[in-house]
Amino acid sequence: MKTLLITGGCGFIGANFIRFMLARKTGIRVVNLDKLTYAGNLSSLADIAADPRYRFVQGDICDPDLVGWLFAEEAPEAVVHFAAESHVDRSITGPSAFIQTNVVGTFTLLDAARAAWSDRPEGNGNRRFLHVSTDEVYGSLGPTGYFTEETPYDPRSPYSASKAASDHLASAYFHTYRLPVLITNCSNNYGPFQFPEKLIPLVINNALHGRELPVYGDGRNIRDWLFVEDHCRALSVVLERGAAGQTFNIGGNNEKQNIEIVTAICHLLDEMAPPLENGRPRTSLIRFVTDRPGHDRRYAIDAGKIRRELGWQPDTSFEEGLRRTVSWYLEHDAWLRGILDGSYRSYYESMYGGR
- Interface residues with ligand NAD (CB under 6 A)? 7-8, 10-14, 34-37, 39-40, 60-62, 82-86, 101, 105, 132-134, 163, 186, 188-189, 195
* 136 flagged as catalytic: yes
Rounded distance between C-alpha atoms, residue 345 and residue 35, angstroms: 12
271 is catalytic: no
Q: Is 159 a residue of the active site? A: yes
Of 231, 111, 91, the closest CA to residue 162 belongs to: 91
CB of 255 to ligand NAD, least distance (A): 15
Residue 214 interacts with, from ligand NAD, ligand DAU, none (CB under 5-8 Å by kind): ligand DAU
Round to whole Å and give the CA distance between 259 and 243.
39
Residue 234 phi, psi dihedral angles, 5° rounding: -60, -45
Binding site for ligand DAU (CB under 6 A): 86-88, 134-136, 187-188, 198-199, 202, 214-216, 221, 223, 258, 292, 299
The per-residue DSSP string of 212-247 comes to: -EEEETTS--EEE-EEHHHHHHHHHHHHHHPPTT-E
Please state, as a whole number, how many other Cβ atoms lie within 10 Å of the Cβ of residue 92.
Answer: 15
Tell me whether residue 74 or residue 89 sits nearer to ligand DAU (CB atom).
89
Catalytic residue, candidates 60, 135, 167, 229: 135
| Closer by beta carbon to ligand DAU, 114 or else 292 | 292
Choose among ligand NAD, ligand DAU, none what residue 238 binds, the Cβ cut-off being 5 to 8 Å by kind: none
299 binds, among ligand DAU, ligand NAD, none (CB under 5 to 8 A by kind): ligand DAU
Q: Give the residue with the Cβ less far from ligand NAD, 197 or 270.
A: 197
Closer residue to ligand DAU in complex, CB, 157/316? 157
DSSP 242-311: PPTT-EEEE--S-EEEHHHHHHHHHHHHHHHSPPPGGG--GGGGEEEEPPPTT---B--B--HHHHHHH-
- Residue 177 binding target from ligand DAU, ligand NAD, none, CB below 5 to 8 Å by type: none
Catalytic residues: 135-136, 159
